[in-house]
Amino acid sequence: MADIPKSRLAVAEKEVERLRNFVRQAELMKGRISGARVARREDAEALAGLLRHESIDPRIYTMPNPINAETIKTFIDDHLMQRARGDGILFASFNADGEATAYFDVEVWPQWSVVKFGGAVKAERQGRGFGGACGLAAVEWCFDQLGAERICETTARDNDRSIRLLSRLGFTQMGEVTSVRPDGTTRPSLYWEMAREDWNAARALKRAG
Q: Which stretch binds ligand COA (CB under 6 A): 5-13, 14-22, 93-101, 164-172?
A: 164-172
Q: Which stretch binds ligand COA (CB under 6 A): 15-23, 75-83, 156-164, 201-209?
A: 156-164
State the nearest-atom distance from the C-beta of 10 to ligand COA, in Å: 28
C-alpha 21/C-alpha 15 separation (Å) is 10
Among 4, 100, 115, 121, binds ligand COA (CB under 6 A): 121
126: contact with ligand COA by CB under 6 A: yes
Name the DSSP letter for residue 123: G
Residues 58-97 that bind ligand COA (CB under 6 A): 59-60
Show Cβ contacts of residue 42 under 8 Å, excluding neighbours closer than 6 positions. Answer: none
C-alpha 53/C-alpha 126 separation (Å) is 12
Three-state SS at 154: strand
Task: Judge contact between 179 and 154, C-beta under 8 A.
Answer: yes
State the nearest-atom distance from the C-beta of 135 to ligand COA, in Å: 6
Q: Which stretch binds ligand COA (CB under 6 A): 4-12, 37-45, 70-78, 160-168?
A: 160-168
Total residues contacting ligand COA (rule CB under 6 A)?
A: 22
159: contact with ligand COA by CB under 6 A: yes
162: contact with ligand COA by CB under 6 A: yes
> In this structure, are strands 88-94 and 100-109 parallel, antiparallel, or unpaired?
antiparallel
C-alpha 61/C-alpha 127 separation (Å) is 21
CA nearest neighbour of 121 among 89, 91, 83, 163: 91
187: contact with ligand COA by CB under 6 A: no
C-alpha 191/C-alpha 209 separation (Å) is 30
181: contact with ligand COA by CB under 6 A: no
C-alpha 17/C-alpha 62 separation (Å) is 26
Q: Which stretch binds ligand COA (CB under 6 A): 11-19, 54-62, 84-92, 138-146?
A: 54-62
Q: Which residues bind ligand COA (CB under 6 A)?
A: 55-56, 59-60, 118, 120-121, 126-132, 155, 159-162, 164-165, 168
